[in-house]
Structure 1
């Protein structure tokens, strides 16, 4: 768990070690610092900062490009400070052209993330599992990937290039774009929203040996939910589960509020106690520090 006085952690180097393992590395989504701490406490080795969840939690709106880069970086900074495990952060389109990508990468790096994801949609973008997406030219995105690689000051920062071409121009174009992004220096390739297991297999087969691959286990999305064993067979290096925590929190809050509205008292059964929750968010550490630095 993230310590207030810091540690000797090297999350970027650790992320690269995890991605080089037998895999796949599983990274549940977090939309704020608390959900990130819960992911870490559950025993996962990495956290994925979801743009969908960040948008929903910060402004209560859908993921259609409404947040600015500064808002996303600020959330990434809070999440990275809350945990010791590596944080992989959604950076949408990089918030402009290749020059904007340079600054975006530097700001995310300063925020402490271990990996950054960039996509080839036109800004304002949409969630990868929504309709109505549009793409920038492949050459433009290739330049943005090159800019991202050149901009990082720490060579261990992982650059993930995502293409949304499957839903717009088809699997063939998505594969061509992915290869071009790998040639531009992307560390991982993310082909978003294939709609059949056959398409997932075609992507994994065609890109085998090109670069490590990301699978988006988007809860309720367009891609079929594959078993962990199947994803391992197909050779995916990273699997993200972007919105499960957000959906679970939404269901829990709605249930509590409905009972409170009906009964006038909140149902506490199954909830952590006050003391359990303060332990979860690090009160014992705060108390230890108070004693350590008391006059």
Structure 2
């Protein structure tokens, strides 16, 4: 009710234990807090907050237009409602190394368990689009060092994302990842891997946890949990899946409503009022204050 009762440091411990467990953590994107509640109920290992989803929710493209305040605010809303660790997309850290330091501390304050920072130029673009540009390795190393130095809770996971494979080639991306690990990154996120061979090359080259991005309509082959586990991946995110599912259903429903003038044919596709109230845990609020929940379904 109201807030998760699991403190932030405990969520960070759970994330680190999960990454060290040898199993694959399954982490869907939470497009809003209610989705995070459902992710927890259905037994996933964590919730992910996508920068692309935050931008899309604001009707903006994923080109670095969102701010730290907007991203940390959405992260805090999602972390508030779930006992699961939350990993958040911190883009390029919103500026220079000092901005990166502030970003990490703001995300710690928001109750987030970890973030990933990327080596694109600022402003960035979606990792599965052409035309990306990456910064020099030394500049990204400074970003990572700033993040590591700024964090106050050693449990907070700092993940280095590299977009270099699509720009400079796979070998360069691996070399960059090694430099980022040397700078203190706890985990590596190789973006836009094309298939199992790319992941296998990364797994052979580095010994820290690896994150796989299984986003739809991108450059990566969609691999199963079993395939990712066999490749030695430690976490898989599905960053935009819930938004795409929701917006597809919303668009279809609005077309029916426009064309038919009534939503009768849509009702059986909707989440029921009873199910919504179950997710919102209305009954717990009733137990707390009978004046709040004074009706029957």
Whether these two folds match at TM > 0.5 is yes
Residues 111 and 5 of structure 1: CA distance in aligned 2, closer, same or farther (over 3 Å): closer
Q: TM-score, normalised by structure 1?
A: 0.94
3-state DSSP of counterpart to 1:35: helix
> Aligned residue for 2:123?
124
Q: Does 2:112 correspond to 1:113? A: yes
Q: Does 2:179 correspond to 1:180? A: yes
> Aligned residue for 1:231?
228
8 A Cα contact 1:166 1:192, kept in partner: yes
Give how far 1:204 is off.
2.1
Moved over 3 A (4+): none
> Aligned residue for 1:215?
212
Task: Please point out which of 5, 8, 16 is paired with 1:7.
Answer: 5
8 A Cα contact 1:122 1:135, kept in partner: yes
Compute the RMSD of aligned alpha carbons: 1.5
Q: Does 2:54 correspond to 1:54? A: yes
**Distance in 2 between residues matched to 1:142 and 1:292, nearest whole Å:** 56
8 A Cα contact 1:205 1:234, kept in partner: no
Deviates more, 1:35-44 or 1:284-293: 284-293
8 A Cα contact 2:3 2:81, kept in partner: no
**Distance in 2 between residues matched to 1:151 and 1:222, nearest whole Å:** 34
Task: Please point out which of 230, 239, 244 is paired with 1:242.
Answer: 239
Give how far 1:140 is off.
0.9
**Distance in 2 between residues matched to 1:68 and 1:205, nearest whole Å:** 36
Consecutive unaligned residues in structure 1, runs of 5 or more? none
Give how far 1:31 is off.
2.0
**Distance in 2 between residues matched to 1:227 and 1:186, nearest whole Å:** 26
Q: Does 2:236 correspond to 1:257? A: no
- Count residues with an aligned counterpart: 288
8 A Cα contact 2:53 2:243, kept in partner: yes
Give how far 1:272 is off.
2.0
Which deviations, in whole Å up to 9, do the C-alpha atoms of 1:215-247 show, x marking residues without a partner?
A: 111122101111211211111111111111011
Q: Does 2:91 correspond to 1:92? A: yes
